[in-house]
């Protein structure tokens, strides 16, 4: 891949909003300069022609996806040419933390006998293919972007990497035969297994012949699981001292002990578990939109290694499936980050559940809404300059703008011009 920066191709629709073939950036500039087209959408960048085209000769495009736990690679191919690419960053762990915080807050209010929302656990019925919101989010955002790209480009086929992680093989690559079938807890109870694994001593201070408690290495409140590889033994003093701190923070001054515990406990597999849990439903959902084919992770890695390409999410997506050759006409992926659409919470609370401030009833100020992407030209004062980024509104009309480099506070609405309305995402290159 060449080091010279090559931009994504530009999507084009005619005056009736019908898809046309994407064009190179140079050709898109010519259309704008000659007045034959106007900007229809900023992200993804799309032009709209000022006339209609009868029976256009459309080239069939192939959309390829490399789904992951935190990022999903997206690539659009015209034959063997990768003409558009993006990396979609999910917010599944933010959703999990938000739901955990809400659950703890409501539980706390119930225990204090204060006003609370009554539990409705018995009123809920889960469907057969139900997934937790943090996992369902990955499917919905991927589906959203497939539909969005179908709206602007003549996509006829979809390839997706359908990978299944073998958890036991990841933990112990040498395991095989009967040992693989029985697993690591064969013949043990969990406590007895942990006593043998950690030498019947405190994991953190190495005390022996004291009462030992089962301890989570990565706290449950921080996303840790109840899997055996996340459990160890600790004396009461160490257990209380650690609390819900991550093990890296608790043992920050003891790097040798930290490395020993990590190697003995083995790495957490929550990312692999998330991919395993969503892979079948993702293929099922996307197959309702386009003719869909699946490929293995081994085939993707083979293609990328054979073509001597870098390891990136969008390049992995371009290498999915059967390819003989691949030419990257772009190397500047659109970075898409999921931010959500805000919250319906009526008031913000502190960590104890007491109200601290109330949310304004009206979401628009001077025609702007939190989440809009704006361009601001400040002509006077201490903040002279041009700023492009996502805004957070205030009732006073003085906004904050989050640019790629920093947060700029106190920009008047008079200097702002909307370039992309709020849609739950932020964008960068």
pLDDT digits (tens, 9 = 90+) for 144-191: 999 999 999 999 999 999 866 555 555 555 555 545 555 555 444 577
DSSP notation for 157-168: EEEEE-----HH
221 domain-assigned: yes
331 domain-assigned: yes
The domain in which residue 234 lies consists of: 186-268
Q: What pLDDT is attached to residue 104? A: 84
Tens-digit pLDDT profile for residues 248-264: 888 888 888 888 888 77
Residue range 208-221: mean pLDDT, rounded: 87
Q: How far is CA 369 from CA 76, 94, 343, 374, 423, in A?
A: 32, 22, 14, 10, 11
- The CATH number covering residue 370 comes to 2.30.30
- Return the minimum-mean-pLDDT range out of 63-67, 279-283, 295-299, 359-363: 359-363
350 domain-assigned: no
230 domain-assigned: yes
Q: Let me know whether 222 and 291 are in one domain.
A: no
- Return the minimum-mean-pLDDT range out of 83-87, 132-136, 266-270: 266-270
CB environment 53-91: b (16+ within 10 A), e (fewer): eeeeeeeebbbbbbbbbebbbbbbbbeebbbbbbbbbbb
Q: Let me know whether 276 and 264 are in one domain.
A: no
How many domains is the chain built from?
3
Residues ≥6 apart with Cβ < 8 Å to 71? 87, 88, 89, 90, 313
4 domain-assigned: no
Q: Let me know whether 259 and 399 are in one domain.
A: no
Instruction: Give the H or E element holding residue 422.
Output: none
Residue 87: which of 298, 359, 316, 269 has the closest Cα? 316
Residue 343: which of 358, 321, 327 has the closest Cα? 358
Q: Let me know whether 141 and 70 are in one domain.
A: yes
Q: Let me know whether 372 and 246 are in one domain.
A: no
Q: Let me know whether 150 and 78 are in one domain.
A: yes
Q: What pLDDT is attached to residue 128? A: 84
Q: Let me know whether 141 and 38 are in one domain.
A: yes
Tens-digit pLDDT profile for residues 318-370: 999 989 999 999 989 999 999 988 877 778 888 777 888 877 778 899 999 99
Q: What pLDDT is attached to residue 429? A: 83
Q: What pLDDT is attached to residue 127? A: 84
- The CATH number covering residue 206 comes to 1.10.30
Q: What pLDDT is attached to residue 2? A: 45
Helices (H), 4-76: 25-33
Q: What pLDDT is attached to residue 188? A: 46
Q: Are 80 and 326 in contact (CB under 8 A)?
A: yes
**C-alpha–C-alpha distance, residues 218 and 222, integer Å:** 7
173 domain-assigned: no
Banded pLDDT at 61 (limits 50, 70, 90): very high
Residues ≥6 apart with Cβ < 8 Å to 351? none
Q: Let me know whether 364 and 381 are in one domain.
A: yes
Q: What pLDDT is attached to residue 108? A: 81
Residues in a beta bridge with 158: 63, 292
Residue range 119-145: mean pLDDT, rounded: 87
Angle at 394 between CA 390 and CA 399, to 5 degrees: 45
Summary mean pLDDT of the chain: 86
Q: Let me know whether 256 and 313 are in one domain.
A: no
Among candidate residues 211, 237, 268, the one where a domain is terminated:
268
Q: Let me know whether 153 and 255 are in one domain.
A: no
Token pair 């790629």: residue: 404
């Amino acid at each position: 891949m060449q080091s010279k920066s090559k931009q994504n191709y530009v999507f084009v629709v005619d005056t009736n909003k019908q898809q046309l073939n994407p064009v190179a950036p140079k050709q898109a500039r010519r259309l704008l300069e000659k007045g034959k087209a106007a900007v229809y959408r900023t992200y993804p960048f799309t032009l709209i022609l000022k006339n209609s085209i009868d029976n256009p000769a459309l080239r069939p495009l192939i959309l390829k996806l490399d789904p992951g736990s935190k990022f999903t690679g997206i690539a659009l191919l015209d034959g063997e040419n990768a003409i558009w690419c993006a990396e979609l960053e999910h917010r599944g762990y933010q959703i999990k933390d938000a739901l955990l915080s809400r659950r703890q807050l409501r539980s706390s209010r119930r225990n204090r006998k204060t006003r609370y929302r009554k539990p409705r656990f018995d009123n809920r019925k889960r469907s057969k293919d139900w997934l937790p919101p943090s996992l369902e989010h990955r499917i919905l955002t991927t589906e959203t972007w497939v539909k969005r790209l179908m709206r602007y480009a003549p996509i006829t086929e979809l390839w997706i990497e359908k990978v299944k992680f073998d958890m036991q093989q990841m933990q112990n690559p040498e395991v095989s035969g009967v040992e693989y079938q029985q697993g690591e807890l064969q013949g043990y109870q969990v406590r007895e297994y942990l006593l043998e694994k950690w030498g019947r001593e405190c994991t953190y201070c190495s005390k022996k012949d004291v009462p030992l408690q089962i301890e989570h290495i990565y706290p449950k409140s921080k996303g840790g699981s109840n899997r055996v590889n996340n459990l160890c033994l600790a004396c009461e003093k160490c257990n209380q001292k650690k609390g819900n701190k991550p093990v890296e923070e608790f043992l920050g001054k003891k790097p040798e002990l930290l490395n020993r515990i990590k190697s003995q406990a083995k790495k957490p597999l929550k990312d692999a578990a998330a991919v395993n849990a969503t892979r079948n439903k993702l293929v099922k959902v996307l197959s309702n939109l386009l003719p869909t084919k699946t490929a293995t992770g081994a085939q993707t890695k083979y293609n990328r290694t054979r073509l001597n390409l870098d390891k990136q999410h969008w390049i992995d997506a371009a290498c999915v499936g059967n390819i003989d050759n691949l030419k990257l006409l772009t190397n500047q992926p659109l970075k898409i980050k999921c931010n959500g659409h805000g919250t319906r919470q009526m008031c913000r609370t502190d960590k104890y559940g007491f109200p601290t401030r109330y949310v304004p009833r009206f979401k628009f100020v001077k025609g702007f809404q939190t989440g809009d992407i704006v361009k601001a030209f400040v002509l006077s004062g201490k903040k002279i300059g041009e700023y492009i980024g996502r805004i957070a509104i205030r009732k006073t009309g003085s906004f904050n703008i989050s640019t790629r480099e920093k947060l700029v506070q106190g920009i008047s609405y008079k200097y702002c011009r909307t370039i992309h309305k709020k849609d739950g995402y932020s964008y960068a290159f």
